[in-house]
Amino acid sequence: MDSINECLINETADIRDTIRAIESGKKGIAVVVDHCGTLQGVVTDGDVRRGLLAGQKLKDSVTAIMNRRPTKVDVCSSQASIIELLEQSGLEALPLVNEQNCVVDIALLSAIRRHSDPGQATGFSSALIMAGGEGRRLLPLTENLPKPLVEVGGMPLIERQVRRIAHAGVNRIYVAVNYLAEMIESHLGDGSRFGVEIHYLREPKKLGTAGSLSLITEKLDGPLLLMNGDVFTSINFQYLLDFHSKHQPLITVAAIDYHVEIPYGVIKTEGPFAICLEEKPSQQFLCNAGIYALSPEAVSRVPPNQIFNMTDLIESGLSQKDGVAVFPVHEYWSDIGTHAELDKARSELKIVRETLGDLEESDEIAVHIELNHRRAA
């Protein structure tokens, strides 16, 4: 039985602490207990994201988003009954309790299924990285180097993406290339050194930000993960997939929380008269993070051999009820599109590595967890 201590928090915790427990515990759930270990409530990753969508702040108490009447199961229950309860309730995880209602373990549906059927597929059918842009905002750095090969922390950005996607269990990765394509293909190769298959989509002409999807000839047997080639992030792709699978939209758009501070007093008027004055207000928006989960139907809507952008595909989804879902990102995210953002990401990654000390080259999980903690702080 794995230790569940990292998943446990008390009611004095805030949402930041809750995110840390979910990430560090690696079970997709934080369990709220009292000083005796008695179950008080649970918080899932979905609860956190719904709270953020509803306007909750990271400094708010966990009690604002926790489920005080969680589904639970007796620790002596059979595996079959636990699976049945998880499936009936639509949950991925739930606490196991003893006769005193103290939490002794956490049951994970995916872990139980893998144990009973190791060959069962649980992830995205494939992924596509859009890596054809010229990176004009990073000139002169990108004059002879494609933007996806710009290094962040001693590793090309696109290699970081491939490694993250591979770690999420995606075995087939498409890479859409155009500008200096041969350099990207030479660096990544066929993907075998990352444990995946890499297939290149070579645009005969510029097809826009979504047109490369029409170059995928294989039939998709599940959702496709799509991300821009200039995104550096610690997003949990499994949580994105779970969210997409639960809501069943045409498209799920990952979105970051963006704040705009207005440094002046804002006057609201009615005709020629002022009705109120708001001193230095702050506005909050959800902005497109350049990461998507696409249903096979969404991919099939992309027309061949013509310019087609993600905005066009999203508009297509918005034309039908519940066609586009929004997945709020609370993990680390950066758009490596400008020199300022590149320098910031390099600096943050350097600080994280210095904080963690010596790490194996392949041990990126601890790095990304620490990046997430810094994002929540």
Which pLDDT belongs to residue 375?
54
CA distance linking residue 101 with residue 237, whole number of Å: 33
Q: Which fold is adopted by the domain 126-350?
A: Spore Coat Polysaccharide Biosynthesis Protein SpsA; Chain A (3.90.550)
Which pLDDT belongs to residue 162?
95
| Distant-in-sequence, close-in-space partners of 92: CB < 8 Å, separation ≥ 6 | 28, 29, 44, 86, 108, 109, 110, 242
Which pLDDT belongs to residue 2?
52
Label the pairing between strands 282-294 and 224-228. Answer: antiparallel
For 26, other C-beta atoms within 10 Å of its C-beta total 14
Label the pairing between strands 231-233 and 282-294. Answer: unpaired
Please compute, for residue 137, the number of CA atoms within 13 A of its CA located in the half-sphere on the CB side: 10
Radius of gyration of the chain (CA): 22
- Residue 62 DSSP label: G
Assigned token pair, 308: 């087609």
| Distant-in-sequence, close-in-space partners of 154: CB < 8 Å, separation ≥ 6 | none
Cα-Cα-Cα-Cα torsion 139, 144, 148, 149, nearest 10 degrees, comes to -120
Which pLDDT belongs to residue 309?
94
For 325, other C-beta atoms within 10 Å of its C-beta total 17
Give phi and psi for 84, each to the nearest 5: -60, -45
Q: Is this prediction's pTM over 0.95?
A: no
| Count of positions (residues) in the chain | 377
Which pLDDT belongs to residue 337?
86
CA distance linking residue 135 with residue 133, whole number of Å: 6
Assigned token pair, 227: 């991300």
Which pLDDT belongs to residue 290?
95
Parts of the chain belonging to CATH 3.90.550.10: 126-350
Which pLDDT belongs to residue 49?
83
Label the pairing between strands 197-202 and 224-228. Answer: unpaired
Parts of the chain belonging to CATH 3.10.580.10: 5-116
Assigned token pair, 104: 């002794």
For 271, other C-beta atoms within 10 Å of its C-beta total 6
Q: Does domain 5-116 have CATH number 3.10.580.10?
A: yes
Q: CA-CA distances (angstroms) from residue 61 to 17, 135, 327?
A: 9, 42, 21
Which pLDDT belongs to residue 131?
93
- Residue 78 DSSP label: -
| Distant-in-sequence, close-in-space partners of 142: CB < 8 Å, separation ≥ 6 | 134, 135, 136, 150
Query: Amino acid letter at 362?
Result: S
Which pLDDT belongs to residue 113?
61
- Residue 303 DSSP label: P
Which pLDDT belongs to residue 351?
76
Grouped pLDDT means (10 residues each) for the chain, 377 residues:
79 89 84 93 89 84 93 85 80 89 86 53 84 88 91 90 90 93 95 94 88 92 94 88 91 91 91 91 89 96 93 93 90 88 85 59 52 56
CA distance linking residue 253 with residue 311, whole number of Å: 11
Give the H or E element holding residue 287: strand 282-294
| Distant-in-sequence, close-in-space partners of 161: CB < 8 Å, separation ≥ 6 | 129, 148, 227, 229, 231
